[in-house]
Amino acid sequence: MALNLVMLGPPGAGKGTQAERFAREHGIPKVSTGDILREAVHSDSELGRKVKTVMERGELVGDDLIIGIVRERLVQPDAVAGFVLDGFPRTAAQANALDQITAERGPVICVEIQVPDEELVRRVRARRVCEDCGANADAFVHQADALPDLCQNTDRCRSVGPKWVARSDDSETVVRERLKIYWRDTRPMIEYYSARPTFRRIDGLQTPEQVREALVSAVASALGLPAGQLQSLVAKKLSGVKGGARP
Ligand code: AP5
């Protein structure tokens, strides 16, 4: 059985923070549509030029484009034993596409992180990302008012001075627009998922560590397993996959 996890929730709920940690701890890739699009904008690729303005306005990129990106990513060998999806699906069309893409891949666990709107706006406005690589300052280690001296994600980040900046779509006006779109397009889709036996909700107002623990318990309970057995699930799946996963 693969470990297929979808993180759901509004902007600033902590999806990316938890997806990153869960993926690393369980040896499966984090697939973040926001990260993929931001990387494309950063590198000024054709895709980046197409989506830049849409993202800066806080609107959603077109379904066909984003579905194509996810479809292509999830067939890569490192995603065979499972994946953590962050930021997808966000519309009914994307949810239908995900059902098709994962039809032969075992259960898909959906976990919604719940956080009230005013706390979301506070978190997003306080967020700082590395100007070089785009990574968030790690909420597990640092609070926004005590940013680390260096970003540790890439050689380049490690060798240059601190460059923490606001994300270009994190202004209050754009965040409120993102929230409006979330309630209009994404929230009804989550309600549709909530009827499934593999759907779970967790409280995102807790500390990052408490949310992490709640997430592991939620995934284990959705699979009917003790929390300690999630890792061995991935290991077993990988032992049957030629080439294995990337480190
Ligand atoms: P995306 O990057 O997916 O943004 P988002 O969904 O709006 O989510 P965020 O990254 O803002 O928040 P998060 O829930 O990941 O929280 P995080 O962990 O960072 O999408 C950006 C744009 O790309 C979209 O607007 C759209 O244009 C486009 N796009 C992407 N996917 C798309 C799709 N499928 N379809 C169409 N368009 C798409 O945490 C937030 C902050 O809070 C951080 O500073 C963190 O350190 C802190 N924090 C985290 N956890 C805690 C905690 N427990 N307590 C206190 N602080 C915490």
CA of 15 to the centre of ligand 1 (A): 6
Catalytic residue among 30, 73, 127, 212: 127
135: DSSP letter? P
CA-205 nearest atom, ligand 1:
53
In this structure, the residue with its CA closest to atom 6 of ligand 1 is 11
Catalytic residue among 50, 167, 176, 201: 167
Q: What confidence tens digit (pLDDT) does each residue in 14-40 have?
A: 999 999 999 999 999 999 999 999 999
CA of 167 to the centre of ligand 1 (A): 10
136 lines ligand 1 (CB under 6 A): yes
CA of 81 to the centre of ligand 1 (A): 25
Please, which residues have CB within 8 angstroms of residue 20's CB and are 6 or more apart in sequence?
30
135 lines ligand 1 (CB under 6 A): no
58 lines ligand 1 (CB under 6 A): yes
Q: What is the mean pLDDT of residues 210-235?
A: 86
- Active-site residue, 57 included: no
Environment class of residue 209 by beta-carbon count within 10 Å: exposed (0-12), middle (13-18) or buried (19+)? exposed
pTM assigned to the model? 0.92
Is there a contact between 60 and 42 (Cβ–Cβ < 8 Å)?
A: no
Q: What confidence tens digit (pLDDT) does each residue in 100-133 have?
A: 999 999 999 999 999 999 999 999 999 989 888 8
Would you say residue 94 has pLDDT above 90?
A: yes
Would you say residue 147 has pLDDT above 80?
A: no
- Active-site residue, 38 included: no
**Distance between CA atoms of 121 and 31, rounded to whole angstroms?**
24
